[in-house]
Structure 1
Amino acid sequence: MSQPQLGGAERDLYRDTWVRYLGYANEVGEAFRSLVPVAVVWLSYGVASSYVLADAIDKGKKAGEDFLPLPPWIKCLCAHQVPSPEAGRSTRVTVAVVDTFVWQALASVAIPGFTINRVCAASLYVLGTATRWPLAVRKWTTTAIGLLTIPIIIHPIDRSVDFLLDSSLRKLYPSVGKPSSS
């Protein structure tokens, strides 16, 4: 989750409240994969993906609201000298939506979902070969291992995705639309 708000700044619904945990729904689904029907796991991906999309749309709206277009009378005076303010606004909105969507899709859905899936698959395999525990006990143990792994992987994945985007996609953004770090 984000750092505490300073100086009365507005709380971000998608980063600073309980809503943030909806982005982890797919990890919980992956942890329970051995115990629930696969449709439940896919539903958890639907919840997490909806969270990602909602956050991207929210950041796009905020980027559009933060942009103050020129009043019509200034547009007339500067029509030949200043690029359209709408072009800057749409660039900021596009960059905000794309950056948030890609960051959240990687950091909240794809990478952690894959990681928990592999941790659970490996632990189920190891428990199956190294113990004589009943299958139900092995599955519940695998689920517990998956759930306990979630808080451990969150921050390293977030920082890795920041580094990845800073090293690639964010270099392509026009300077007018560069988002602040996720």
Structure 2
Amino acid sequence: MSEPPPRGAERDIFRDTWVRYLGYANEVGEAFRSLVPAAVVWLSYGVSSSYVLADAIDKGKKAGDVRSPEAGRSTRVTVAVVDTFVWQALASVAIPGFTINRVCAASLYILGTATRWPLSIRKWTTTALGLLVIPVIIHPIDSIHWSPAHHCPLSHRSVDFLLDSSLRKLYPSVEKPSSS
């Protein structure tokens, strides 16, 4: 989860509370893929995707509430929504979901070729490994809140680096979004 907000800063329900963990529901679904019907895994993606969309809408509303010249308002809102949506889609759904999926698939395959364990034991071991990998992969993928004070190489994570190197270069000259 992100760093706690600075003193006096507004608490972000999508970043600073338990709600943040809804973004990781698909990782849990992927870890359990070998044990549950595919519909359960897809439901977990629905939960994570709903979280991503809700956070993007929230950041768009907050960007629209900022007092400034009206001419830049729609651009500011669009940048906030797009940046948050893309960042969250990558950091909360796509990258960790793919990673857990591949770790679990590989472990199930390796356990199937390297052991004579019963299938049920291999599946539960794969699920346990998938769940154990989740906290390990979150830190390099996820990021702290962006602010000018944090703009240094040590505060960025992989998704921030990816967006800073691509999509964020396309934004008009408005204030840096606070999506990540």
Gap runs ≥5 in structure 2: 143-156
Task: Report deviation, 1:67.
Answer: 2.8
Alignment partner, residue 158 of structure 2: 160
Alignment partner, residue 128 of structure 1: 112
Alignment partner, residue 51 of structure 1: 51
1:14-93 equivalences in 2 (<5 Å) = 14-68=14-68, 85-93=69-77
RMSD: 1.1
Compute the TM-score of the two structures, normalised by the length of structure 1: 0.88
Alignment partner, residue 95 of structure 2: 111
Gap runs ≥5 in structure 1: 69-84
Whole-angstrom distance in 2 between the partners of 1:112 and 1:49: 13
Please give the per-residue CA displacement for 1:44-63, whole angstroms capped at 9, x wherever unaligned: 00000000000000000000
The sequence identity of aligned pairs, in percent, is: 89
Q: Which has the larger radius of gyration?
A: 1
1:24 alignment partner AA:
Y
Task: Report deviation, 1:177.
Answer: 4.4
Whole-angstrom distance in 2 between the partners of 1:34 and 1:62: 40
Q: Secondary structure at the match of 2:7?
A: coil
Please give the per-residue CA displacement for 1:50-95, whole angstroms capped at 9, x wherever unaligned: 0000000000000001134xxxxxxxxxxxxxxxx33300000000
Whole-angstrom distance in 2 between the partners of 1:30 and 1:126: 17
Task: Report deviation, 1:3.
Answer: 1.2
Compute the TM-score of the two structures, normalised by the length of structure 2: 0.89
Number of aligned residues: 166
Give yes or no for contact 1:95–1:177 (8 Å, CA) kept in 2. no
2:52 alignment partner AA:
V
Q: Secondary structure at the match of 1:5?
A: coil
Task: Report deviation, 1:5.
Answer: 2.0
Whole-angstrom distance in 2 between the partners of 1:170 and 1:118: 29
Whole-angstrom distance in 1 between the partners of 2:140 and 2:104: 19
Task: Report deviation, 1:173.
Answer: 0.8
1:170 alignment partner AA:
R
Task: Report deviation, 1:99.
Answer: 0.1
